[in-house]
Chain A
Amino acid sequence: MSEGIEKSTAKTMMLEVVTPYHHFFEGKVEAVVLSALDGELGILPGHAPVVVALTPGITHVTVNGKHRYAVMMEGFAEIGPFMTVVVCNAAEWPENIDVERAQAAYERAINRYRDETQNPQERIYARNSMRRAKMRLQLVADHGTEEQMKKLRDMHTV
């Protein structure tokens, strides 16, 4: 492990994000902030090995000193000193998010969740999809393009 300690002083680590539809991200990063079950978790190169459960949320990646944000859905991450592998159900950059669709999904989910006549399992699903849609909207609101933000504002003023 002595070799490991030497190497772990390196400034970057590999980050790999895998989803069922595509290889979302692969490359060297300086830091990554994941949304773990109990809050955000920052990872720097040389982190001790840990497996983390992820909940839908905004992930923050630092590449070459630049910050990038993406939304990632539930999954898990394997973290090692040189490499972090994130396996999640879906991941998107803000510019790829369809604002109208996310908003529609959010409204649909919130109505289903509030409907007391639904069975409990159904309401849990609704709560989860509500959270997913909310995170997408949140990401657009914080880091989306001008056009997306305008769309979002228009929708909220209507």
Chain B
Amino acid sequence: MKLNRRHLLAGATLIAASRPGLGRAAKDPIRIGVPTALTGPYADLGNQVKRATDFAVDAANEAGGIDGRQVEVRYLDTEGRADLAREQGEKLALSGYNLLMSTIASGEGLAIGPQLQRWNAIYISTVNKADDITGKACNRRMFRVNHPDSSDVAVVQPWLKQQKQRKWAIQAGDTAWGHNSGMSFSNAAQADGRIVEVEQYSPFGTNDYAPYIQKIVDSGAEGLWVALAGRDAITFAQQARQFGLLDNVFTAGVSFIADNQVKTLGDAAKGIVGIINYSSTLDTPGNKAFVAAWQKKYPGTTPTNFEAEGYLGTEVLFQAVKKAGSVVPADVGRAMEGTTFATIFGDALLRKEDHQLMTPNFFGYVGIVDGVAKPIINMTVAADVAFPQPNGNCKLTG
């Protein structure tokens, strides 16, 4: 018998019919673009985000994908700079990785936001803290799963009432988040009858904090509020310890007692208090499963707060893709609005009014656990208290 095209076609149809799934077109993959700080002062934070995203993507693919879709991720370095974030975000989005996540500096997220419609992309903040992300700069394509400054303030206010220090100093980064945090703390302190003696903002990547420390010492402040992260936080804490500032002035902060910073500072961090946005000891089924899987993959470690926040972003994204049945950014975005997601913090609502995920927030101190300095939670603020109402400045344009 001579083989002709009709025979070949019939044969191919038979083979396709005998192999389930082979005849169907594969679903589009989930393509995640992560423009983040892999070098520069925020490199440590960016690499934590990268580790967590890799962890989530590998886990999803090993389990057969999300809703039958493979997950792909691509990272580009932004050095924590707003202009580079815009450039790298564009590169990622226009090359198909248009589900963007996890820049570090708030300025980066604010630079990406206005471009999302033009790039046909969405952006999920997992680290940016400036209120404007879900406030006056919010738009239909921008979402946040981490705690904004306003949520941290909701934690600080009741804590501050219990403190005896009357005179305070503020040391923050000269960035959108630094100013946001400094102003919020200043307002909270003054509303409680405290005096802010010094409020100073150091440029991103400062190496010499001596003039700032001297000014705090000279001011006679009894308490110090610090809003610094990454290398800036470590440099400041080390120099403050050398100058004896941390021994003489009660020190508290936000992002200042993050896991990796405490690990790097060791004993120098002991006694510092502050806002803790996540702890691996969180008692929820989702978190227990996450920590167990993390320890299996990275033995001898527990997830840090920035790793957990990065993972939280992927949890929300994957569930939204499943709900939307699509990887088209606008569809995924719509699926996020007003949806309750199963997360490491428990069930959490992503508010449709300002695109903010509502999770509990925490306060704690640096203590010694098994001979190692670690942030320890001693106050939990429920999600509805930490996120009292949608940001009124958000008009959700675009």
Instruction: Verify that A and B bind, or say they do not.
Output: no
Residues of B participating in the A interface, judged by any CB pair closer than 8 Å: none
Residues of A participating in the B interface, judged by any CB pair closer than 8 Å: none
